[in-house]
Amino acid sequence: MKRYLLILTFAALSLLMRAAEPVSGTADTVAISEKAGWTLTDTVFPLRSHDLSFQMRGSLRAEMPRGGEASARFRMDNFRWNVEGTFGRNKEFYYRFRQSFNANFRSNTFDNLLESIDYAFMTWRPRQHFSLTFGKQVHALGGQEFWAAPVYVMQYSDFVGSFPCYQMGVMATWHITPTQDLAFQVSNIRGFWDDEFYHGGLPEGTESSRAPFLYTLNWNGNFLDNALEFRWSASYGSQAAGRSMWIFAMGQSYRSEWWGIYVDLMYSRQGLDLNGVLSSSAVSVPGGDYGTLQNVDYVSAIGYLHLFLSKSFSMFFKGSREYGGLYSPAGNVPAGMLRASWNGQACLEYMPTGNRDFRLFLHYNFYDARAVENGALLGITDKREHRISLGMIYIMNIF
């Protein structure tokens, strides 16, 4: 009996294997036969392309702060790894993961993800004119500096550098034309609970928001054969009970064969000091020596000029002017400006192989921040620094 069962089993398996064989000469047969290690999952989510790279910027940095001693050190300014790719029958799925080795590796207590992770999202594009993105992504704010790859940004502006730009969320994008997009994004404002996130925690008597989301409407447009680009956005967010924020950002850029330029303009009004620039600069705040300022606003203007001198040499100049203040009184401090800063940069880049993924640079940075108008009432601290860096940028493309 057992022998008959064994014979029947082998016969059934042989028939199934015979039935599973593709018909000779079909296009699917040719495509499958060309794949080594083909599996069933490839017919559902066939991988089309993926890229893995390491992004590194290191330098010998000399710092000369006002009122302090000059110092020098070797420093890894930026080190990230990035993997991205597309899959699906029509490349309708796109994924991206990027992590920094310079950021803190602690877990965010609010979104349950490592703080060092910039991107961990997937985009689904079921139609030519629509896509949906979910996961940890960058806030869809306007401006060119905000979207620049961190490895290339030697010094961020105060506003962009202090803004918690990578958060969990969802974004729907209408691809109006091949050169214009309109996106709506809903994302977390923060990755930590309020007491951990804000400089001095929540002010006394302030309740946490039950839905601390940032809602952003973003428009991107490219014109003149993609030489002229606009990135504009408007955002509203709920920070806490009775505390909300607005952000308006406008970025515009133009690039030709030999030069490129961009100008960013940003304004933000915050019920609680989300950026923390003013709160961390104040010696004391109304109601205590350490806390989070309320009813603050920030204004930023950034200009950038890049000159492509030859295949091997380029240079850029960058400057920013920023203000921070109160839009309503806080204790005995009237509404008005508290702090002003400006930053100037100049950089010479050399690409010995003619490839922009490998470049040597000499960079000069000047930064000055000081109290203005009512800043002295809060003890806003001054800061002035010169910095020179000699270093290397290298993008290692693994595949």
pLDDT score recorded for residue 2: 37
Among 264, 269, 248, which residue's Cα sits nearest to residue 343?
264
pLDDT tens digits in sequence order for the chain, 399 residues long = 434 433 443 344 343 333 334 433 333 333 333 333 333 334 444 556 889 999 999 999 999 998 778 999 999 999 999 999 998 888 899 999 999 999 888 888 899 999 999 999 999 999 999 999 999 999 999 999 999 999 999 999 999 999 999 999 999 999 999 999 999 999 999 999 888 899 888 888 889 999 999 999 999 999 999 999 999 999 999 999 999 999 999 999 999 999 999 999 999 999 999 999 999 998 877 655 568 999 999 999 999 999 999 999 999 999 999 999 999 998 888 999 999 999 999 999 999 998 989 999 999 999 999 999 999 999 898 999 999 999 999 999 998
Residue found under tokens 């047969």: 29
Q: How many CB atoms lie within 10 A of CB 318?
A: 21
State the Cα–Cα distance between residues 52 and 197, nearest whole angstrom. Answer: 32
State how far the alpha carbon of 392 is from the alpha carbons of 13, 31, 142, 351, in Å: 61, 44, 29, 10
Residue 159 phi/psi, 5-degree rounding, is -70, -50
Write down all domains in the chain, each with its CATH number in brackets. Answer: 44-397 (2.40.160.10)
Residue 172 C-beta-side C-alpha neighbours within 13 Å: 4
State the Cα–Cα distance between residues 336 and 97, nearest whole angstrom. Answer: 42
pTM of the model: 0.85
pLDDT score recorded for residue 33: 34
Residue 209 phi/psi, 5-degree rounding, is -75, 140
Signed CA dihedral, 63, 319, 377, 269: sign only: negative
CB of 57 closer than 8 Å to CB of 393: yes
Q: How many CB atoms lie within 10 A of CB 367?
A: 18
**Please, what's the b/e burial string for 175-186 (b: 16 or more CB within 10 A of its CB; e: otherwise)?**
beeeeebebebe
Which structure tokens are listed for 291?
């806390």
Q: What distance, in Å, lies between the first and last C-alpha atoms of the chain? A: 57
CB of 210 closer than 8 Å to CB of 225: no
Q: How many CB atoms lie within 10 A of CB 140?
A: 26
